[in-house]
């Protein structure tokens, strides 16, 4: 286990850890709220597509590009921005990332021009790429080494909460009060979060000594390439079925209640991240294997019993359970393996994750057109077998059960 500190920073980090006798749940929740706002910013346009289209006088397809440009911003900015800010104080970088959401959501709330809104969404995506690269490393630095996995789990809990509750409530608020008001409220919440971070979170130094770590050096660290490969395969598999869950659900009566099925997915995801948070510091490898196997079982069930509403609904719950802690597993493994290069390694996770999201949509579309919707679970199962084989290929690096 490599210590998560940078040149000259170990003493400062250790002083904080020695002073922190209790698990800093309150401070970590500030990071979770940052993730919560990030997911809301990303997904709200999809839920308010007609309202935003009418307000900006554009088609629904054009509004959909507000989500696409966000993902592009995250994907292209994560690695270069994280690399560029390696030497900066960590709290300054975190505040910069969160402030990007404040700017982007405020502009979105008041802009009457589609092109300006598109630029704001790109800025939001850039901010998201930087933020996701920071969260795991920041959480890890706030606790002793034997609590790092649990700390990352708390920092990541904002994602399933946003998917399960934040987006439905935000969509409802946008319908009732107007989509501009919803983005305005999101900006107000971001201001409160900036104050919370500035007051409550500890600060850490960036990389010192004038030399910055290179991407090639991070990839060469034992285990990092394996973690990136598993992340790509797992998230690709997830997005193939998640992106096209509506047409797949139409094979049974579940298609009439897909919103409830996805709510159940979100709730079971919360349970999944809780289980991962309890055991991850001792059983990271085992949890990764179990999550991959459970996901595979769920899509196998979907493939065989695609026309049974109850069985497919239960399979979706199992899928949510397996997926809920996935980000925590991958980011904890990355943080453990990469040591002082944790933030840069996390930026690579962010880039791979967003590439898998885009790839899931493209691969899924190809499967739908070429083979039909019933092929989706089987394609996902094949990809998950690849992910499982990759995890099992090297038990000594990457995903290990050796606690810190």
pLDDT tens, N- to C-terminus, the chain (404 residues): 344 443 334 434 443 443 445 789 899 999 999 999 999 998 888 778 889 999 999 887 788 888 888 988 988 889 999 989 988 999 999 999 999 999 999 999 999 999 999 999 999 999 999 999 899 889 989 998 888 888 998 998 898 888 778 888 888 898 899 999 999 999 999 999 999 999 999 999 887 655 567 788 888 889 999 999 999 999 999 989 987 887 888 898 887 787 788 888 888 999 999 999 899 988 999 999 999 999 999 999 999 999 999 999 999 999 999 998 998 899 889 888 887 787 888 889 988 988 888 788 888 888 988 999 899 999 999 999 999 999 999 888 889 876 55
Q: How many domains would you assign to the chain?
A: 2
Question: What is the longest distance spanned by two Cα atoms in the chain?
Answer: 62
Range of the domain at 116: 10-200
220 shares its domain with 367: yes
d(CA 4, CA 280): 17
Looking at the structure, do residues 97 and 220 belong to the same domain, yes or no? no
DSSP result, 183-208: HHHHHHHHHHHHHHHHHHS-------
403: in domain: no
Contacts 24+ apart (CB under 8 A), 261-264: 261/312, 261/313, 261/316, 262/316, 263/164, 263/168, 264/313, 264/316, 264/317, 264/320
2 falls within a domain: no
Do 157 and 228 belong together in one domain?
Answer: no
Positive/negative CA dihedral, 303, 307, 310, 316:
positive
Query: Is there a single domain that holds both residue 17 and residue 52?
Result: yes
Q: Is residue 21 part of a domain?
A: yes
Query: Residue 205's CB: how many other CB atoms inside 10 A?
Result: 16
Q: Is residue 234 part of a domain?
A: yes
For residues 235 and 117, membership in a common domain is answered with no
Backbone angles phi, psi at 202, to 5 degrees: -70, 160
Count other Cβ atoms within 10 Å, centred on residue 310: 11
- Residue 295 and residue 249 share a domain: yes
- CATH code (residue 225): 1.20.1250.20
Residue 296 shares a structural domain with residue 373: yes
Specify whether 33 is located in the same domain as 146: yes
The answer on 165 and 224 residing in a single domain is: no
Residue 402, in any domain of the structure: no
Cα–Cα dist 365/362, whole Å = 5
The domain boundary, picked from 177, 200, 223, lies at 200
Question: Is 1 part of any domain?
Answer: no
Question: Do residues 221 and 167 both lie within one domain?
Answer: no
């Amino acid at each position: 286990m490599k210590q998560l500190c940078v040149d000259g920073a170990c003493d400062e980090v250790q002083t904080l850890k020695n002073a922190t006798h209790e698990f800093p749940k309150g401070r970590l929740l500030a990071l979770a709220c940052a993730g919560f706002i990030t997911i809301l910013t990303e997904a709200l346009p999809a839920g308010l597509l007609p309202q935003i289209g009418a307000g900006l006088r554009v088609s629904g397809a054009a509004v959909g590009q507000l989500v696409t440009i966000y993902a592009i911003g995250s994907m292209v900015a994560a690695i270069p921005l994280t690399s560029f800010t390696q030497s900066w104080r960590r709290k300054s970088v975190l505040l910069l990332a969160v402030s990007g959401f404040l700017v982007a959501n405020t502009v979105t709330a008041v802009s009457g021009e589609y092109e300006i809104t598109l630029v704001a969404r790109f800025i939001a995506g850039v901010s998201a790429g930087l933020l996701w690269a920071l969260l795991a490393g920041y959480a890890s630095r706030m606790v002793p080494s034997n609590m790092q996995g649990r700390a990352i789990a708390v920092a990541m809990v904002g994602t399933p909460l946003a998917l399960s509750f934040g987006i439905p409530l935000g969509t409802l608020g946008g319908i009732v009060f107007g989509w501009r008001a919803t983005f305005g409220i999101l900006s107000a919440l971001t201001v409160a979060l900036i104050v919370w971070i500035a007051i409550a979170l500890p600060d850490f130094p960036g990389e010192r000594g004038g030399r910055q770590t290179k991407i090639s050096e991070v990839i060469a660290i034992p285990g990092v390439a394996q973690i990136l490969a598993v992340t790509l395969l797992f998230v690709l598999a997830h997005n193939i079925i998640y992106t096209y869950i509506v047409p797949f659900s139409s094979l049974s009566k579940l298609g009439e209640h897909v919103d409830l099925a996805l709510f159940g997915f979100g709730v079971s995801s919360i349970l999944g991240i809780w289980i991962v948070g309890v055991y991850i510091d001792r059983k990271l490898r085992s949890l990764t294997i179990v999550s991959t196997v459970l996901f595979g079982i769920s899509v196998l069930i979907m493939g065989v019993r695609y026309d049974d509403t109850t069985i497919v609904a239960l399979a979706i719950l199992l899928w949510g359970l397996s997926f809920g802690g996935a980000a925590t597993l991958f980011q904890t493994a990355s943080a453990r393996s990469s040591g002082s290069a944790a933030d840069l390694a996390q930026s690579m996770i962010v880039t791979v994750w967003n590439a898998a999201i885009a790839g899931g949509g493209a691969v899924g579309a190809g499967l739908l057109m070429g083979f039909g919707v019933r092929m989706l679970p089987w394609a996902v199962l094949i990809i998950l077998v690849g992910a499982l084989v990759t995890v099992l290929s090297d038990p000594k690096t990457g995903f290990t059960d050796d606690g810190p």
